[in-house]
Structure formats: structure tokens, C-alpha cells
Amino acid sequence: MSRLAGQRIVLGISAGIAAYKSAVLARLLKKAGAEVRVVMTEGAQAFITPLTLQALTGEEVRTSLLDPQAEAGMGHIELAKWADIVLIAPATADVMARLAAGMADDLLTTLCLATRARCLLAPAMNQAMWSHPASQRNAAMLTEMGWQQLGPDAGEQACGDVGGGRMLEPEAIVATLEETLSGKAPSSGALPLDVTPKHDDCAPAPDAFMAASNEADTGALAGRHVVITAGPTREAIDPVRYLSNHSSGKMGFALAEAARTLGARVTLIAGPVSLPTPEGITRVDVISAMDMLAAVNAALSTCDIFIGCAAVADYRLLDVAEHKLKKVPGTTSLTLNLTENPDIIATVTASEHAPFTIGFAAETRELARHAHDKLVRKRLDLIVANDVAAPGLGFGADDNAAVLYHLAASGPDDPVMSHTLSPRPKQDLARAILDYMLPLYHGHQPTRSSASS
């Protein structure tokens, strides 16, 4: 059992682009068995909606210190006393400055002054802001005041700069919390946490919180129809030969099983593969790209989430030979007249009521450039890119790795966010992809009704 099971965590979210990661963090904390209540600053709501966090935590999100209904019972004091842990992620330069100064000018800073809980923060800001002497002074002051600092990380930032100031990835934050709760020295330099939850005698035991989390976990996509394409297509040359690729369908089948586990109704449109159908899933077998397009169109009217995982052939024969082509004596080459296949995923995103759409990019070089191009050009909500040239990964293998890309907002000129998933079994990778997708899907606003490819 996770050491976070039964912990009462107030997750504070302030106004940084990294706020989108907080949705993933909230879900991971819930999955670990913690009870999570979210407090958002006014600025944070410009980056991610309270409704997204409410859907992920099952709790009302608090956004205002002067909420008459909540404050009728001194809500900020009640919340401060309720918490075992206060975690601010992202913690912007502004929030850190106000905390260091002891200000209490909004709900988040006020409850931080009023709480006896252990307090942690995950800084997130531009590299120049992070390296500024004022930010470094504030970070040092907060450490002296008992705040435990998680990160920041270094790397490419949304603004295009490279350097320190990136918020730690949600998985790293949860791993650090687990370490500190076990008494180990965390890699972030945080101090050990008090592992004794401050619950009333009548409060549910940690096991009950874990069970509730698992129950919620299985229903995260309840009532949603997920359509997934998987495997290769075969484009006939003649009655005995065809054009195809090395796709085994394993990744698409793993995604179908993961979506079903999350409570979705799943339609799996599979090219010619030799894989058993996962339990509880509607399977539609197809051969060619045209067959697959027809099956996708038939399922599209009720589709909430479309995942184009199939390796669809780009071209097909303009004229398929009626009989087997025979080798012509004296010839050493054969010319095939090809025509372009329809772009299935672009057809989906261009539909009148386009679903939330995930694409895949299997590349052998320049992964980021090709994935970014496909993300924008095909108006995808999320793209899963993998290097199929990597040994032991990709086509036919049981393991895979991926980098997930999506736009920070809905415009083609908005910053591209990325998230790396290390090599792991395809079943585990499928679940990690859907876990990352969920907050993006819950915050999804349809914008592609007039889109074209």
C-alpha cells in the first residue's frame, strides 16, 4: 500500500503554465490513496479550470477567501486544520515572495499561515526568474521557515528558454512524497514528513481511502465511448500479395484494455493481427485503409475519444490486379502505380463534432520535429511519439517508450508541452498515456468543427 494512503493533502495551484501538470498530480495523489482538496489562485484559473480538478478529485475546488458560503464556518481555518500536508505545485515566483513575506491576501496564502500541516512547494518559473537573487532569497527564507522545496528541475521551458525553474514532473513529486513518508532522504532535499494523519477517531481508515480511490479510478471514463484503431493495414497488389508494415497491434490492444479498465465503452478497429480480443471490448476487423476509414466513420457519431494507434498504409494500388502477377522473363524490376490513402485521423479531427483525438507518430529520426508537425497539422489534442528504430522497442516488441506532446492551449502558435514516458511494458505504457490524457480530456473544449487537414 502507498504511504500516501489516508493522507489529507491540500493541493495549492498558482498561476503558472505548469498548472496543467497539477491535474496529473492530483490524479496520481488520488490513485495513491490520498484525500485531495484543491485550492486555486485567481491566476491559476486562467491556465486550468476548477471543473477539471473537481472531476479528478471528487471534491469542490476552493478559489476565493471571501466565499460567503465557505467562510460562514471559517472555511479557510477549517481547511488549514484538516490538512496533513499542504503542497503548492506549481509555486510561482509571486506566491513564493508572498509566502516569504508572510502575506495573507488570498485563500492559499491565508491557509498556509493558519495551518500546522507540513508544507511543501514545487517551484515553477522562467529560468531567469528562478536565478534572480530575490527568488533565491525567498526560497532560502521559506526553507528556514520550514517549507520543503521539491525541485525545480532544469530543461526546456514553455517560453523556449533552457535552464532551471521547470516544475518537477508529477511522478517525481509523488515519488518524493513517498520517500519522505518512509523516512528516506528524498532526492529533492525535502525533510521527512510527519506520517501520522490527523484524523478524528471516526474518520475512515487508510484502507477505506485506498478502496475509494480504486473505485473512482475504475470509473474515470465511465459513460464515455472510446474508439481505437490498431495494427497495420494491408493494401492488395494482387490476390496473393500486398503492401503493409511491421505493426503488431499490441499497443492499440493495450490501450483498448486500459480504457475498458477505466470504465469506457471501447470499440477496437483492428487491422490484420493475431491478437485475442480483450474482454468486454467490441472488435471490428478490417483489412485495408479504406475498410478502416469506413469502420471509423460508422463509430464516429457516438465517439467521445478517438485514439488513432493503427499504422495505416500511406498508399494503395491504383488498380489491383485481378489475378496473380507473373514474373515477366527478362525483366528485373516492377513498377507499381500507387495512389494516396485517405488520412483517417485528419478526417476525424475535421468532422463536425470532432472527439478528443490522440494520434501516434512512429519515427526513426527527428522525433520532436515530426511529432510537432503532425500535432499542429492534423489538429490533434495529444500525440504519442516513439522512436521505432530503438532496439527492443516499438513494432512487434512487448515494451515501448514514448514522448507525449500537446499544445498549451488551442492555437497552433501556442507552446508545445512534452512529457516523457520511459521504456516499460506496453500495458503499463497504455495506462500511463491515459492517465496523462485524462485531465486534458476533462478540460477539453471542442475547437475543430470547421477544421480541415
Q: What is the pLDDT along the chain (453 residues), one digit of tens a residue?
A: 778 888 999 999 999 899 999 999 999 999 999 999 999 999 999 999 999 999 999 999 998 876 655 544 445 688 888 999 999 999 999 999 999 999 988 999 999 998 888 899 999 998 888 888 888 889 888 988 889 888 887 766 777 777 678 898 899 899 888 877 765 444 443 433 333 333 333 333 333 333 333 433 446 898 899 999 999 999 999 888 889 888 899 999 999 999 999 999 999 999 999 899 999 999 999 999 999 999 999 999 999 999 999 999 989 988 888 888 888 888 888 888 899 999 999 999 999 889 999 999 888 788 888 888 999 999 999 999 988 777 666 666 788 888 899 887 655 555 678 888 888 899 999 999 998 898 888 776 443 333 333
Rounded CA-CA distance 61/172 in Å is: 24
152 marked as binding residue: no
CA distance readout (Å), 255 to 266, 303, 357, 434: 10, 16, 14, 8
Q: What's residue 23's pLDDT?
A: 92
Q: Annotation-wise, does 324 bind a ligand?
A: yes
The predicted pLDDT at position 288 comes to 93
| Annotated active-site residue in 112, 119, 159, 303 | 159
> Is 308 labelled a binding residue?
yes
Q: Is 159 one of the annotated active-site residues of the chain?
A: yes
Q: Are strands 305-308 and 356-363 parallel, antiparallel or unpaired?
A: parallel
Any known ligand binding at 374? yes
- For residue 447, the model assigns a pLDDT of 38
User: Domains in the chain, ordered, with CATH?
Assistant: 8-217 (3.40.50.1950), 225-442 (3.40.50.10300)
Angle between helical axes of 19-31 and 206-218 (0-180°, round to 10): 120
Q: Is 306 marked within a binding site? A: no
The residue type at 51: L
- 423: preceding bond cis by omega (within 30 degrees): no
pLDDT of 306 reads 97
Q: Is 189 marked within a binding site?
A: no
The two beta strands, 85-91 and 118-123, are: parallel
Nearest to 375 by CA among 337, 332, 400, 346: 346
Backbone dihedral region of 20: left (phi > 0), alpha (psi from -120 to 50 degrees) or beta?
A: alpha
What integer pLDDT is reported at residue 126 of this predicted model?
A: 86
Say whether 343 counts as a known binding-site residue: yes
> Is 414 annotated for ligand binding?
no
Q: What is the pLDDT of residue 443?
A: 72
User: Of the candidates 127, 122, 188, 121, which has an alpha carbon nearest to the alpha carbon of residue 157?
Assistant: 127
